[in-house]
Structure 1
């Protein structure tokens, strides 16, 4: 079924990104349907990371436009993306390793709600801690709230990073390679968490594990050599001969 503009929480219209003479992305128009889980895939060098950086506000497109929730956000500062309701979890874990699990999330809550206004009443700090506790429960880390973040396993650190991202109460959660470097058991755990979060908000992710993506995504965007190759349901992507040729191979059968 075709996705209309009214269905889209995020849309890119002909976005291009150049670095000097190198064109990393060219003319990409993609719709991210509201309330769905969309995966961005493609072989190495396909331009996934650059595209993801544009839709998260880290890079401004050289050309084209980005629309979020009915308004154009092209070129806005990255912190404005967060305030509008877009949160990103990075491929490289981005935590305070020497702070406790709880403090990592509490700091994120405080930064978003007060801008580090340390003169706020203590009651506000209790609110921040309560919210951090709820977020840790949401990602299954409430029993490790007192652990230093550095003590967590890789999978637990990714779950903690998701809790940090959720501190902003985002409408759209962007996840960059959320299962990278994980064991099969950790992968299953984190994907169960992502699927649960996708019941509450729109999720978009970059991921390389194809069998995983085909089984969990509502929609898939395929990039190749910096351009959009295809977008559609997993069945659409499986049936696309060009996608099979350049990326999926025999494993897509």
Structure 2
């Protein structure tokens, strides 16, 4: 297809996304657009299809039907490892760091991977520059004081922040976060939501979450999935006033 102008108000679109696992349909004909420069939350009760949707738009799963369009280009079926070079970074629900390395080493390796995977002859000056970039990213996510701590010794919330710092190594235009507060204490959750808000000032963020109240105060745009289908989308006020959304969330005590 012919690429659209990058001035398109939507950075990424899902067009008619269906995903089946055998006879089970996890997503059914979902079409949504994500505004550039905004924080969009994809919400819905457990089992709504949110993580499957995240996996499709992040390239982990190919859709059974439909397309994913990023900045005007069809990226459906693009290998996951190519996403960072397109300007898309992601942080999954399960923390993915190198536990035996320090926080600084984790982020520096992520930066090195963006320059050359197999370059063992990197000049020392370049490594110093990467080290400084890694330090800046740790500062950004609030881990300045933990640079020399091994990742395995960080608290759960700190490990999630470290993973986000690693995702930011490619300086993405689009950051995808799958339930970034999963397993966190209330205190850790507040710190993470504040971090996400700051990150969204500099780039487009798509956040997958099942706790509606958690994202209502920070999101510009919300998409509600239910039983694998699009239930509603709009501003937080639109979603609060939507009768179908209220019905779906009734009895979902923690939401």
TM-score for both structures, normalised by structure 1: 0.94
Moved more, 242-251 or 131-140: 242-251
Which of the numbers 127, 148, 168 marks the counterpart of 1:166? 168
8 Å CA contact retained: 1:110, 1:116 = no
Once the two structures are TM-superposed, the CA of residue 247 in structure 1 deviates from its matched residue by 2.1
- Residue 132 and residue 17 in structure 1: after superposition, are their counterparts in 2 closer, same or farther (change >3 A)? same
Gaps of 5+ in 2: 1-6
Structure 1 residue 208: deviation in Å? 2.3
Deviation of 1:251 (Å) = 7.4
Q: Which residue in 1 is equivalent to 2:21?
A: 19
CA contact (8 A) 1:38 1:220 kept: yes
Could you tell me which of 44, 47, 51 is aligned with 2:46?
44
User: What's the CA shift for 1:248?
Assistant: 5.1
Query: Number of paired residues?
Result: 249
User: What does residue 30 of structure 2 align with?
Assistant: 28
After TM superposition, what 4+ stretches of structure 1 lie above 6 angstroms from structure 2?
A: none
- Partners of 1:250 and 1:241 in 2: how far apart? 15
Residue segments in structure 1 that go unaligned for 5+ positions in a row: none
Q: Aligned residue for 2:103?
A: 101
Which whole-Å deviations, capped at 9, do the CAs of 1:17-46 have from their partners, x for residues lacking one? 111221111100011100100001111111
CA distance in 2, matches of 1:233, 1:86: 24
> CA contact under 8 A between 1:57 and 1:75: conserved in structure 2?
yes
TM-score by length of 2: 0.94
Query: Which residue of structure 1 aligns with residue 4 of structure 2?
Result: none
Paired residue for 2:64, among 62, 69, 75?
62
The answer to whether residue 221 in structure 2 is matched with residue 219 in structure 1 is yes
Q: Whose helix proportion is higher, 1 or 2? A: 1
The Cα RMSD (Å) is 1.7
TM-superposed deviation, 1:6: 2.1
* Partners of 2:181 and 2:20 in 1: CA distance: 29
